Amino acid sequence: MVTASVIAIILLLILGTVAFIYWRIRRGLKRTFGQVGLSHMIKAADLNSQLTPKSVSGGDAIFLPRILKDYPQFNVNLAKNVVENNIRQLYGAGHFADVKVHRTTISNYQKHYGSSVIKFQTAFQYSSDRTVQEKAETTYTFRVKDKEGASNAALRCGYCGAPVARLGNKSCTYCGNEVILDMEQAWDITDVNIVN
């Protein structure tokens, strides 16, 4: 049977250990702030934020096979070049100089009736009075235009006039005839936003 004195000794040892650990932590913090200085730590953090590129959501392995299934002619490297050149133009044309792109990846892909949307994320930096690291999300949209240039024109079967359910259908779901699009199709950048 454990006596009260043994319990008291165990409690004293536990309290002593906790007090010692607390004392060592406090002593270490005082020494750190005393030697380095808070302003030096802030400057180091600011320099680190200037030198470290932002991370991007890399979904190429997930989304690219789906995109290529829907659009076999899609060239991902060409699309990334278009996105990166757009970033360089947006940020290099104004007050900023030395726009450097670190990485561009696909972050999302959605297919809609009449259009499809690929989201790209790009990590880049530019210089103003200091180096700034940013991340942009570019919306790259596949649009169908009729001969007059109207975007997202209604897709209809040329034989029966039924609506085409979605882009990429090879045959009409109503009459079974081959779907031939007498329209222009193109990928365009429709939006660019800075994201965190």
Do 25 and 17 contact (CB within 8 A), yes or no?
A: no
Q: Give residue 84's pLDDT.
A: 93
Question: 100, 82, 80, 71: which is closest to 166 by C-alpha?
Answer: 71
CA 29 – CA 39 distance, rounded (Å): 15
**Residue 162 phi/psi, 5° resolution?**
-70, 150
Please state, in angstroms and as integers, the Cα–Cα distance from residue 163 to each residue in 16, 118, 152, following that order.
Answer: 79, 24, 13
Q: How far apart are CA 170 and CA 151, in angstroms?
A: 21
- Looking at residue 93, its amino acid is A
Residue 42, both tokens: 């802030």
At 16-75, the pLDDT tens digits run 899 888 877 776 655 555 555 666 666 666 666 667 778 888 889 999 999 999 888 899
Other beta carbons within 10 angstroms of residue 49's beta carbon come to 13
Mean pLDDT of the chain: 79
